[in-house]
Amino acid sequence: MNRNERREYGKALADQWKTSGISQEAFASANNISAHRLRYWLYKRKSLTKEVTAGSFIRIGTYESTHDIIISYPSGVELRLSSGVPVMVIKELIKMQG
């Protein structure tokens, strides 16, 4: 397996664990890897995707538009964005869940 294949394999396992609902140790054992290796891939996955955590800031820049996009968080906070904001920025803002 080359470097890219190993990276994709580790990324896939990290994603599977996140949705599995079981402990890291149980997941690692079921997939014939060490818990340490799974934690390594989880760390690498996080650093590769640069996940945004609640309470952090992301740069959105300025965009011209007459239409707004409104993101309403459960906490009652509303964000009004112009329709020119890139989809990836909107996706990260939605993941933050105010």
Every domain of the chain and the residues it spans:
3-49, 52-98
User: pLDDT digit string (tens) for 54-75?
Assistant: 556 666 666 565 667 888 877 7
Predicted local distance difference test score (pLDDT) of residue 11: 85
Contact between 11 and 43 under an 8 Å Cβ cutoff? The reply is no
The predicted model scores a pTM of 0.46
Which DSSP helix (H) or strand (E) runs through 78? strand 78-82
Number of other residues whose CB lies within 10 A of the CB of residue 14: 21
